[in-house]
Amino acid sequence: MSVLRAFQATDLFSFNNINLDFWTETFSISFYLTYLSRWPDLCYMQETPNGRSMGYAIGKAEGSQVDWHGHVTAITVAPEFRRLSLARNMMNALERMSDEVYKGLFVDLFVRISNQIAIDMYEGMGYSVYRRIQQYYGGINGSPDEDAYDMRKPMSRDPHRRTVRQNGRDIVTTAKNITM
């Protein structure tokens, strides 16, 4: 049993069990606070009934006109709470808000190409690779920079799936050539 609720600024003091993970990017406090002030309805915390942090998601709405979309900036679940569909629940909430409130054409996210478990989960949720971004992620512990997949899922305003493509793994670009 868990509770999905709005992410709050005070959660920054209690999510170390989530952020101390190889796959999780940790941002500055000002970064999190910017998201909480600009897109509070796209930021979620999953917790146990007694208040222990289990996972969180932060997102934003961005782009313009035919590129207007929801973006999953971070989603992570503490290792001891994985495989309980918590990430899926947070993704569903973020997608619903991006679709119904922000009227986004799609939701996108970036994922390390080595994170096959996450890629499989996203593909199972209807996401597909839109493009590969070379050296998007900085190396960890002296390892080289790593490529990312930009994955997308069309929302209800894109019934003809114009915002996704079939051959996304074959489309390669660099981080400096992408627009956010």
Give the strand order in the sheet containing 43-47: 3-6, 43-47, 53-62, 69-77, 106-112, 146-154, 128-137, 172-174
What's the mean pLDDT in 105-134? Answer: 96
Q: Is 3 left (phi over 0), alpha (psi -120 to 50) or beta?
A: beta
Average pLDDT of the chain is: 92
Structure tokens at 153: 């899922």
Tell me the chain's radius of gyration from C-alpha atoms: 16
What's the mean pLDDT in 159-166? Answer: 94
pLDDT on residue 20: 80
Cβ within 8 Å of residue 99, ≥6 positions away = 70, 107, 155, 156, 157
Structure tokens at 82: 């994985």
Could you tell me the pLDDT band of residue 117, with boundaries at 50, 70 and 90?
very high
3-state helix/strand/coil string of 133-155:
EEEEECCCCCCCCEEEEEEEEEC
pLDDT on residue 140: 67
Could you tell me the pLDDT band of residue 90, with boundaries at 50, 70 and 90?
very high
pLDDT on residue 180: 52
Residue 141: pLDDT over 70: no
pLDDT on residue 128: 97
Condensed to tens digits (0 to 9), the pLDDT of residues 22-77 reads 778 888 999 999 999 999 999 999 999 999 999 999 999 999 998 999 999 999 99
Condensed to tens digits (0 to 9), the pLDDT of residues 118-128 reads 999 999 999 99
Residue 12: pLDDT over 80: yes
The residues facing 5 across adjacent strands are: 45
Residue 165: pLDDT over 80: yes
For residue 102, which of 179, 40, 9, 36 has the smallest C-alpha distance? 40
What's the mean pLDDT in 86-104? Answer: 97
What's the mean pLDDT in 105-110? Answer: 98
Residue scoring higher pLDDT (131 or 15): 131
List the domains of the chain with CATH numbers. Answer: 3-177 (3.40.630.30)
